[in-house]
């Protein structure tokens, strides 16, 4: 069995949170969410971690998240996402300042990854179960192509008490594969207990156990070639929109829609934690303390 790689999307600065939240301490010894992600990935059999970062904070980031920090237990590499890192023939529009999105970030790792890999957000706490689930799936793919996966969470386990959230709502077919993924925005729990989304002013209800994507995907290396090829078509259609982004679900929906690939939906009933807002942090800190008390993590993660 192959050891999969973990690709950590850490180039975003978290505009709503207001700081480089990927490096913000949430553990008792100032461990960041990234530390817990890497710890869980090592336990799940991952052999390498690749960070997607920006040159603007590279020195600070690399000083913190180095191979030495993880005790040499996992290989570490870094790649960079910048506005002008584009396929040949694509140029940056004069007034473009917004990054090109999560799938553009994935594309940056094409030369660093030659094995099945999982993609995560740097500022999301997925839990050990999720890494075991996706690690087991990826480790058995070998040289397979066009067989992808994702870990889907139950919607009610992913909400914030401090504001609305956006989630990729997943449709799953009878074989357990992804049939559709639709981005729903302004999702919140109402005082009467219902979960509603308010896209375009609508008030549509979603079931508590609706499977949603939290950007925990698994791919084989062929995904890089598909992304490179499709980005050019996407760019031609969207480059004049200065806020358009090339998201992972955009690429996934394309490959599933045209029959190129299948994507297995691996379900998780675990609680997901994120720091969408600054006010979310205390709940995450308390949850980590609880998991330490239950023996799920050591108090000093890297000793």
pLDDT over threshold 60, residue 22: no
**Can you give the pLDDT at residue 20?**
59
Beta bridge partners, 119, equal 7, 217
Structural domain contains residue 240:
yes
pLDDT over threshold 60, residue 221: yes
Structural domain contains residue 45:
yes
**Can you give the pLDDT at residue 303?**
87
Confidence band, pLDDT 50/70/90 cuts, at residue 97: confident
Structural domain contains residue 92:
yes
**Can you give the pLDDT at residue 14?**
42
pLDDT over threshold 90, residue 106: yes
The residue with greater pLDDT, 104 or 98, is 104
Structural domain contains residue 183:
yes
pLDDT over threshold 60, residue 102: yes
Q: How many domains does the chain have?
A: 1
**Can you give the pLDDT at residue 16?**
40
Query: Percentage of the chain surpassing pLDDT 90?
Result: 77
Express each pLDDT in 176-193 by its tens digit: 999 999 888 899 999 999
Rg (CA), the chain: 19
**Can you give the pLDDT at residue 130?**
95
Domain that holds residue 105: 5-293
**Can you give the pLDDT at residue 21?**
53
Structural domain contains residue 238:
yes
**Can you give the pLDDT at residue 142?**
87
CATH assignment at residue 240:
3.90.550.10
**Can you give the pLDDT at residue 85?**
95
Q: Which of 39, 62, 10 is nearest to 300 (CA)?
A: 39
Structural domain contains residue 298:
no
Express each pLDDT in 118-163 by its tens digit: 999 998 999 999 999 999 999 999 889 999 999 999 999 999 888 8
Express each pLDDT in 257-288 by its tens digit: 999 999 999 998 888 987 877 788 898 999 99
Mean pLDDT of 9-30: 70
pLDDT over threshold 50, residue 15: no
Structural domain contains residue 300:
no
Rounded Cα distance between 263 and 133, Å, is 14
Q: What is the mean pLDDT of the chain?
A: 92
Query: Percentage of the chain surpassing pLDDT 70?
Result: 96
Mean pLDDT of 17-30: 71
Structural domain contains residue 301:
no
């Amino acid at each position: 069995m192959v050891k999969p790689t973990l690709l950590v999307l850490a180039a975003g600065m978290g505009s709503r949170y207001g700081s480089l939240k990927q490096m913000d301490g949430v553990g008792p010894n100032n461990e960041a969410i990234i530390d817990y992600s890497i710890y869980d990935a090592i336990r799940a059999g991952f052999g390498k971690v690749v960070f997607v970062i920006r040159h603007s904070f590279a020195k600070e980031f690399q000083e913190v998240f180095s191979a030495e920090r993880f005790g040499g237990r996992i290989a570490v590499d870094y790649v960079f996402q910048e506005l002008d890192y584009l396929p040949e023939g694509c140029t940056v529009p004069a007034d473009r300042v917004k990054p090109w999105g999560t799938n553009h970030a994935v594309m940056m790792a094409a030369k660093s990854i030659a094995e099945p890999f999982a993609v995560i957000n740097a500022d999301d706490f997925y839990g050990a179960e999720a890494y075991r689930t996706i690690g087991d799936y990826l480790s058995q793919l070998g040289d397979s192509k066009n067989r992808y996966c994702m870990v889907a969470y139950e919607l009610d386990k992913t909400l914030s008490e401090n504001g609305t959230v956006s989630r990729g709502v997943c449709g799953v077919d009878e074989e357990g594969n992804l049939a559709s993924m639709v981005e729903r925005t302004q999702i919140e729990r109402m005082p009467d207990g219902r979960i509603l989304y308010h896209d375009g002013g609508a008030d549509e209800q979603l079931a508590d156990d609706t499977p949603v994507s939290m950007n925990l995907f698994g791919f084989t290396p062929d995904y890089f070639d598909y992304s490179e090829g499709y980005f050019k078509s996407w760019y031609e259609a969207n480059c004049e929109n200065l806020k358009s982004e090339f998201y992972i679900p955009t690429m996934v929906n394309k490959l599933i829609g045209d029959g190129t690939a299948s994507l297995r939906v691996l379900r998780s009933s675990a609680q997901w934690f994120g720091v969408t807002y600054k006010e979310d942090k205390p709940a995450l800190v308390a949850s980590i303390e609880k998991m330490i008390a239950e023996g799920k993590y050591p108090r000093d993660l890297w000793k």
